[in-house]
């Protein structure tokens, strides 16, 4: 004898959350969301800004609403100065949330 699927029995109670919602809440509670954004940003930097800019980037850091980009090329830093808003828009689009409001371009520290 075959059992019939009863969709009414399989429906979730209204107080249950999806796994994604639980993970999002956990990241917020333990303040891990910013760190996850940072790792995601670093791992996908070349996709976000393209290979030419990524090659001249020494470091990328997200501090609150400010994106700090350390550049190895003064010429590229000067060129990107006029594209700061485009970079912020690309990063926000990639992260799927409005995180970056300011882009700060800095010279990379030279180790001797």
Which pLDDT tens digit goes with each residue over 69-110? 999 888 989 999 999 999 999 999 998 989 999 999 998 876
Which pLDDT tens digit goes with each residue over 38-78? 888 999 999 999 999 999 999 999 998 999 999 988 898 99
Phi-psi region of 61 (alpha: psi -120 to 50; beta: other; left: phi over 0): beta
Is 81 a member of any domain?
A: yes
Q: How many domains would you assign to the chain?
A: 1
SS3 18: coil
Is 8 a member of any domain?
A: no
Is 89 a member of any domain?
A: yes
Give the pLDDT band (50/70/90) at residue 22.
confident
- For the chain, give me the number of helices (H) and strands (E)? 7, 3
Give the pLDDT band (50/70/90) at residue 15.
low
Cβ neighbourhood burial of 69 (10 Å; 0-12, 13-18, 19+) = buried
CATH number at residue 79: 3.30.70.2210
Is 15 a member of any domain?
A: no
Is 45 a member of any domain?
A: yes
Is 26 a member of any domain?
A: no
pLDDT of amino acid 69: 94
Is 100 a member of any domain?
A: yes
Domain containing residue 67: 34-112
Is 83 a member of any domain?
A: yes
């Amino acid at each position: 004898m075959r059992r019939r699927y009863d969709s009414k029995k399989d429906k979730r109670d209204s107080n249950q959350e999806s796994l994604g919602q639980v993970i999002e809440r956990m990241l917020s509670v333990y303040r891990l969301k910013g760190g996850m954004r940072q790792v995601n940003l670093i791992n996908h930097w070349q996709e976000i800004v393209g290979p030419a800019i990524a090659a001249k980037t020494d470091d990328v850091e997200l501090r609150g609403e400010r994106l700090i980009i350390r550049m190895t090329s003064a010429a590229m830093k000067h060129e990107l100065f006029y594209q700061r808003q485009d970079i912020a828009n690309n990063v926000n689009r990639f992260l799927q949330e409005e995180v970056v409001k300011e882009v700060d371009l800095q010279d990379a520290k030279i180790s001797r």
